[in-house]
Amino acid sequence: MKTLLHMQGLTKEYGKEKAVDNVTFSLNKHTSTALIGPNGAGKTTILSVLAGLLKQTKGSIVFDGEITEDFRKVIGFLPQYPKFYSWLTALEYTEMTAKLSGVDAKIARLEAEKTLEFLGLGDAKKKKTGTFSGGMKQRLGLAQAIVHKPSLLLLDEPVSALDPIGRREILNLLKELQASTTILYSTHILNDAEEMTDQLLFLRKGKLVEQGSLGEVQEKYANPVYKMYFSSSEEAARFVEISPWSARQEDSIAFIHIEEEKPLMNEVLRVLSDSNLSLSKVERATASLEEIFLQVVNKG
């Protein structure tokens, strides 16, 4: 897979405070990457540097093989709360942003119409943006970000302000876009990241603390567990007591952490049959992204 962007040692300082500290990562073409971290981790700062709104203190960015300072021609940017000129209609606004991004004036209107149609705003294109609902604003925000067909799409918390239906719609649109562009987005809603991502970048206090594909991170952080459902919490507690493996208990469920594929299920069942405990269900589970997030963010 070809690399579209490589960020090397990016640092952004505000006085003595480091908002982003020596962050290095690459984005492959036509992939989507999630920047994950708690508030203040540096997600928006990284996106702002790429969008040309902030200048890094240190570090270089190679775009398509060349060291670049100004990405404004090749990116589309959607801030977390996009703000529009309330006195322009959706079509006027999208057409204006298309022209400003370098789309030929002759086809800018057509492109704007097509984009609004694609995002489901075809009926509202003649309405002033000041009358738009939250979901419509997010779509219009996306429209201005993609109307000029950028090779890199930067999205800051693209769905966190939306209701579940709006979130689902925008996520589906983003998945469609993935085929034609490279997406870098920040989020703290981990279900979204789990759903739409090729690469995860975990940030904490400006530092990149973990990166990899969902599978890689899950493998590294979450050893699988057996989730064993007992009829009462006393039984679960007794099992944890007699278990020769590292185990813990939550209510009536006992967890055995599996390391290097040990123990095997039949060993566990043997211990169970010796103990006369009544087991109702056993599951082999992997940790959710949320559990990994908490582990990564809390470590160190």
Partner 1 sequence: MNNFSVLFQKEWRENVRNFKILWIPLVFLLFGISEPLMNYFLPQILNAVGNMPEGTVFQLPEFTPEQIVMSTINQYQFIGMLVVTLGFAGIIARERKNGTATLLYVRPLSYISYVYSKLFIMCILVVGSVILGLLANLYYTYVLFGSVDAGAFMGFLGTYIVWLLFVISIVLFSSATFSTGIASVVSLLLVIFVQLIDGLLGAYWTISPWKLPMYAGGILNGSVNMTSFVWSVTVTVLAVIVLLAGAVYFAKRNVSKTKI
Which chain residues interact with partner 1 by CB under 8 A?
A: 44, 48, 51-55, 70, 72-73, 75, 77, 79-85, 87-88, 92, 96-97, 99-102, 105, 141, 144, 156
Could you count the other beta carbons within 10 Å of the beta carbon of residue 227?
15
Choose between 144 and 187: whose C-beta lies nearer to partner 1.
144
C-alpha R_g of the chain: 24
Tokens at residue 172, please?
């589906």
Choose between 124 and 228: whose C-beta lies nearer to partner 1.
124
Closest CA relative to residue 267, chosen from 246, 237, 245: 245
Least separation, in Å, of the C-beta of 193 and partner 1?
21
Choose between 42 and 82: whose C-beta lies nearer to partner 1.
82
Closest CA relative to residue 210, chosen from 157, 218, 159: 218
- Phi and psi of 38, rounded to 5°? -70, 170
What region does 120 belong to: left with phi over 0, alpha with psi -120 to 50, or beta? left
Choose between 92 and 113: whose C-beta lies nearer to partner 1.
92
Choose between 85 and 244: whose C-beta lies nearer to partner 1.
85
* CA 104-51-127 angle, 5° bins: 55
Least separation, in Å, of the C-beta of 146 and partner 1?
13
Least separation, in Å, of the C-beta of 132 and partner 1?
14
Tokens at residue 146, please?
């993609």
Choose between 10 and 247: whose C-beta lies nearer to partner 1.
10
- Distance, in Å, from the CA atom of 127 to the CA atom of 292, rounded to the nearest integer, reads 44
Least separation, in Å, of the C-beta of 48 and partner 1?
6
Tokens at residue 43, please?
């997600």
Helix (H/G/I), strand (E/B), else coil: 210? strand
Least separation, in Å, of the C-beta of 98 and partner 1?
9
Least separation, in Å, of the C-beta of 12 and partner 1?
10
- State the DSSP code for 129: G
